[in-house]
Amino acid sequence: MKSLFPLLGVLFLVTTSHAQNLLQDPSFDASTPNSQTNPFWTLDVTFPDGVGSSAQYQDAPWASNPTGTPGVGVWLKAFEGNQAGGGDPLANATLYQDVTEAAAGEYTLSFFYRKEANFSAANTYVELLEDGSRIGLLDLTEVDTGGLFEQFSFNANSSGGTLRVQAKMVDGFDAQANPQSAMFDDFSLTAVPEPSGFAMLALAGFALAPLRRRKR
């Protein structure tokens, strides 16, 4: 077994280095509950009636993934827009985190989204930006998650730079029927592994090692 262990070590390094989530606090645990304060994420909101925010970090089982488990998630409060049809402005919210000095290559962005039956906004989406330009998009406007958190993901190619993971609710409004919220949780941005020469060598060595031992 002696010859096998170094190779396993190499293989482990190759696989895990690529699977690392590049985002800090992906589950929003570091948030100040019921606020727009998080050390790693920015949450830009509006206050359509001057009091209630369009979104906040919410510490509640219905706001955190998996659905019904205690924790913190991002609560989109579309109903704050034009509340009760009273003519208030529409509700807008933007959540984002930047990953600086990202290497060129393909990335996978995944997240969990939960939409209640009557959540109403002109647009809801998650996008990946490279130095301010969109390189990937998942439009959630017409998505129905059946009231439960559901995982979504997409891939995008980057030539490197600052990657911004961004989620937006555009022009949310009061449907005057409950339930009518939406939530985000558990984001992940990972580099898609490339089959490098190094990894191929390790794999070849791993495959050959038992054969060599048997011949001795």
Residues that bind Ca ion (CB under 5 A): 27-28, 64, 71-73, 185
Least distance (Å) from Ca ion to the CB of residue 71? 4
SS3 201: helix
- Residues 117, 186: Cα–Cα separation, whole Å: 21
E strand or H helix at 130: strand 121-130
Q: Please, which residue, 41 or 173, has the CB nearer to Ca ion?
A: 41
Query: Residue 176's CB: how many other CB atoms inside 10 A?
Result: 13
Least distance (Å) from Ca ion to the CB of residue 185? 4
- Residues 132, 163: Cα–Cα separation, whole Å: 8
- Residues 18, 198: Cα–Cα separation, whole Å: 13
Amino acid at 146: G
- Residues 93, 84: Cα–Cα separation, whole Å: 20
E strand or H helix at 42: strand 42-45
Least distance (Å) from Ca ion to the CB of residue 79? 22
Q: Where are the beta strands (DSSP E) in 140-181?
A: 150-158, 161-172
Q: Are strands 150-158 and 72-76 parallel, antiparallel or unpaired?
A: unpaired
Q: Please, which residue, 58 or 180, has the CB nearer to Ca ion?
A: 58
- Residues 212, 14: Cα–Cα separation, whole Å: 23
Q: Please, which residue, 48 or 73, has the CB nearer to Ca ion?
A: 73
Least distance (Å) from Ca ion to the CB of residue 84? 31
Least distance (Å) from Ca ion to the CB of residue 124? 19
Amino acid at 23: L
Least distance (Å) from Ca ion to the CB of residue 116? 17
Q: Please, which residue, 71 or 179, has the CB nearer to Ca ion?
A: 71
Q: Please, which residue, 28 or 107, has the CB nearer to Ca ion?
A: 28
Q: Please, which residue, 46 or 58, has the CB nearer to Ca ion?
A: 58
